[in-house]
């Protein structure tokens, strides 16, 4: 079996890179089953050892017991997001419960937990490093939070809940994806394209041709299609149609997620109560910087108190502008993007589309690599590793001075059928100790950027450049990791710290020194004018209240779902309407956000969506230091790399941040950056 299944045979590419080009759907399930049996045998060996429990023979050994299983499931779930076939989606419903039950077998094994507890109880006498202390503490808490202290009835209930959740999360994400893919806006009359930039029209032509609809224009709910349409299309009724379709994903159709939402929150609440917590938010936040739901709610309400008045003022100004522009009637949600773009053009004398010719993907990517080379002394070299799609590019990342291999980097940029919407960073192997020695990571960023057309290369918006820098910030967290134990490498940090390394990178994409590395007109080679860079910066805080209110709304919605007694919730839309009535400026005019809120129902952000704004405080405070000392100040960048990026989750984030910054983050740094702090008080 191992010879015929590429997931089980030795990987022969340099650095043992995965053989994506020969992996087929039918290879996954046999590989998962065999890898589980292999991991189970390793766990049995640890559990039945005649040696006294030690950190090395118990805690460290457990971390390496499931290496093959982690590799196989990592490849499977990453490919499920990057371009799932129907067969893979079926497999997810089978692989999820198998993996969940194996994890439950480990976490609920009394003999294994006895060894872990023995090491934990002796921790003060073991002379452990800071990293080992963190790994041990997390391992012990992982067992307790996983049900190790429950009686048999409790363990049985918990096992069943985990099994159900392992299926519901992927099913939720699948429904969002399928519902999105089902919709198309087909335009046959050219006059309905009025207002749209040439890049959007060309992309719609190509989309139509790919669907055998030559002579028409096809728009989809992929953001490179949907976003410009809402921003620029003059045809208001078509904007409304697009907006309602996007807002109603996985609601009221055959992919409706309402039942999934209710099941997920009920199961998570039940799990939390079985483990002795008040609710799921209470359970999650015990392992976060914020620590408690009260702390999160206080943080979000403070932001809301600042953002809502600013958003009301934003909307008031927009309505006045739209009337002056000739609009009659009431502004609706599908008008906001359109008229705010027109308003921005008038106020700041530029359009977002004016930037696009200066951001062809290939030079932007090359310049982004140069940016990280200047900051952290690393080099990206194109290579030819096996990849999962012809669009995917691969690179060796090395230390510029020593030439040492730092990791393998994959870049996957364009939408395609089966690919999850949005953008994310992921890894196929973490940095750290494996059974055959220390390994460097395999890291990927996966995006849905504007595709190239017959007449032009992929031309990014500035927002897409920000997304690239954001995801590359996550990638650097993984790539530059320098820990011993892979369980705590890179982004394996407390969830409300994980967005710092990504969000802080977005700041550089507004700076002339950085933009000059890559921003050149794709036809003339002309560098982006300083005047245009200044306009972008002048407009940076345009509608900041509106954007901040939206993020506050999502954070509070997330907390409501995970701190309310689910027995009191019978209808998803009604519940969302009730809990968001003070955080929206329009009544709901499409489906509820919740049915497509993959971050919290299909991803890892449940009771954690607030972390985006939490980390923005840290990133604003961090970038202030670079602004003081220089964007590429070697000493500051080296300290940031050493104290933040290299350390991963080896110590508590508050310690790491203070070691880097010399103090705790200034809580007002974010509002100061957004121009909402005046005279020491929130505006």
Q: What residues act catalytically? A: 471
Give the CA angle between residues 409, 32, 408 to the nearest 5°: 10
What is the helix (H) or strand (E) element at residue 426, kind and residue range? Answer: strand 424-429
Is-contact 290 302, C-beta < 8 A? no
Cα dihedral 297, 301, 303, 309, rounded to 10, equals 160
For residue 225, which of 425, 361, 415, 390 has the smallest C-alpha distance? Answer: 415
| Distance of alpha carbon 147 from the chain centroid | 28
Give me Rg for the CA atoms of the chain: 25
DSSP annotation string for 528-570: PPHHHHHHHHHTTTTTHHHHHHHHHHHHHHHHHHHHS-GGG--
Task: Collapse the DSSP code of 188 into the 3-class scheme (helix H, G, I; strand E, B; otherwise coil) and give the result.
Answer: coil
| Adjacent-strand bridge partners of 443 | 409, 427
DSSP state of 451: P
CA distance 431 to 438: 7
CB atoms within 10 A of CB 53: 20
CA distance 220 to 213: 14
| Adjacent-strand bridge partners of 439 | 432
Helices 258-274 and 544-563, interaxial angle, to 10°?
A: 60
DSSP state of 191: G
Is-contact 644 657, C-beta < 8 A? yes
CA distance 219 to 200: 9
What is the helix (H) or strand (E) element at residue 395, kind and residue range? Answer: strand 393-399
Give the CA angle between residues 266, 578, 496 to the nearest 5°: 60
For residue 598, which of 171, 234, 248, 164 has the smallest C-alpha distance? Answer: 171
Long-range CB pairs of 71-75, under 8 A, 24+ apart, other chains included: 71/7, 71/18, 71/35, 71/428, 71/429, 72/7, 72/28, 72/31, 72/32, 72/35, 73/32, 73/35, 73/99, 74/427, 74/428, 74/429, 75/7, 75/18, 75/20, 75/23, 75/428
CA distance 662 to 640: 11
DSSP state of 326: T
DSSP annotation string for 94-112: HHHHHHHHHHHHHHT-HHH
For residue 479, which of 457, 501, 496 has the smallest C-alpha distance? Answer: 501
Phi, psi torsion values for 406, nearest 5 degrees: -100, -25
Is-contact 349 535, C-beta < 8 A? yes
CA distance 255 to 227: 23
For residue 238, which of 247, 230, 250 has the smallest C-alpha distance? Answer: 230
Is-contact 303 559, C-beta < 8 A? no
Question: In a 10 Å sphere around its CB, with 0-12 CB exposed, 13-18 middle and 19+ buried, how is residue 354 labelled?
Answer: middle
């Amino acid at each position: 079996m191992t010879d015929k299944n590429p997931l089980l045979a030795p990987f022969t590419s340099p650095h043992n890179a995965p053989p994506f080009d020969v992996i087929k759907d039918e290879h996954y399930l046999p590989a998962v089953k065999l890898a589980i049996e292999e991991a189970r045998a390793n766990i049995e060996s640890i559990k039945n050892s005649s040696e006294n429990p030690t950190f090395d023979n118990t805690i460290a050994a457990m971390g390496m017991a499931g290496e093959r299983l982690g590799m196989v499931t990592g490849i499977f779930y990453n490919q499920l997001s990057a371009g799932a076939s129907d067969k893979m989606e079926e497999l997810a419903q089978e692989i999820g419960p198998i993996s969940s039950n194996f994890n439950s077998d480990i976490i609920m094994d009394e003999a294994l937990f006895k060894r872990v507890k023995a090491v934990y109880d002796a921790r003060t006498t073991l002379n452990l490093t800071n990293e080992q202390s963190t790994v041990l503490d997390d391992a012990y808490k992982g067992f307790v939070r996983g049900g190790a202290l429950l009686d048999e009835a409790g363990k049985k209930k918990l096992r069943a809940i985990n099994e159900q959740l392992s299926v519901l999360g992927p099913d939720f994400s699948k429904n969002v994806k399928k519902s999105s893919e089902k919709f198309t806006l087909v335009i046959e009359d050219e006059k309905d394209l009025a207002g749209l930039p040439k890049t959007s029209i060309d992309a719609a032509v190509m989309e139509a041709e790919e669907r055998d609809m030559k002579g028409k224009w096809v728009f989809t709910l992929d953001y490179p299609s949907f976003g410009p349409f809402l921003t620029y299309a003059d045809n208001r009724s078509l904007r409304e149609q697009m907006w309602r379709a996007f807002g109603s994903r996985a609601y009221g159709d055959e992919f409706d997620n309402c039942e999934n939402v209710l099941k997920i929150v009920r199961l998570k609440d039940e799990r939390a109560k079985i483990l002795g917590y008040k609710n799921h938010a209470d359970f999650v936040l015990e392992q976060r910087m914020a620590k408690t739901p009260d702390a999160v709610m206080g943080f979000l309400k403070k932001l809301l108190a600042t953002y809502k008045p600013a958003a009301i003022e934003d909307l008031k100004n927009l309505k006045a502008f739209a009337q002056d522009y000739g609009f009659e009637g009431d502004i609706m949600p599908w008008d906001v993007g359109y008229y705010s773009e027109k308003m921005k053009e008038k106020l700041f004398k530029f359009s977002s589309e004016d930037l696009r010719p200066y951001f062809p993907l290939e030079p932007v990517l090359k310049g982004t690599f140069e940016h990280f080379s200047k900051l952290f002394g690393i080099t990206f070299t194109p290579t030819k590793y096996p990849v999962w799609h012809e669009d995917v590019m691969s690179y060796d990342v090395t230390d510029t001075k020593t030439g040492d291999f730092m990791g393998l980097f994959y870049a996957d940029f364009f939408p395609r059928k089966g690919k999850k919407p949005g953008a994310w960073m992921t890894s196929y192997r973490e940095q750290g100790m494996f059974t055959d020695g220390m390994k460097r990571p395999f890291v990927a960023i996966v995006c849905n950027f504007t595709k190239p057309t017959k007449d032009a290369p992929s031309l990014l918006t500035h927002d897409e450049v920000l997304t690239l820098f954001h995801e590359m910030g996550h990638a650097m967290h993984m790539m530059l990791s320098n820990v011993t134990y892979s369980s705590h490498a890179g982004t394996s940090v407390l969830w409300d710290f994980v967005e710092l390394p990504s969000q802080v990178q977005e700041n550089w994409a507004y700076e002339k020194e950085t933009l000059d590395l890559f921003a050149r007109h794709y036809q003339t080679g002309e560098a982006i004018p300083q005047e245009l860079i200044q306009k972008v910066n002048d407009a940076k805080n345009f509608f900041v209240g509106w954007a901040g209110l939206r993020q506050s709304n999502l954070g509070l919605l997330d907390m409501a779902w995970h701190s309310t007694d689910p027995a009191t919730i019978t209808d998803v839309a009604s519940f969302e309407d009730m809990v968001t009535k003070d955080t929206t400026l329009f009544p709901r005019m499409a489906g509820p956000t919740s049915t497509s809120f993959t971050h919290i129902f299909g991803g890892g952000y449940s009771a954690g969506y607030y972390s985006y704004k939490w980390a923005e405080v840290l990133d604003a405070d961090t970038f202030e230091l670079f602004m003081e000392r220089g964007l590429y100040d070697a000493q500051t960048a080296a300290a940031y790399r050493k104290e933040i990026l290299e350390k991963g989750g080896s110590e508590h984030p508050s310690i790491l941040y203070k070691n880097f910054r010399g103090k705790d983050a200034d809580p007002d740094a974010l509002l100061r950056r957004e121009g909402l702090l005046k005279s020491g008080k929130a505006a």
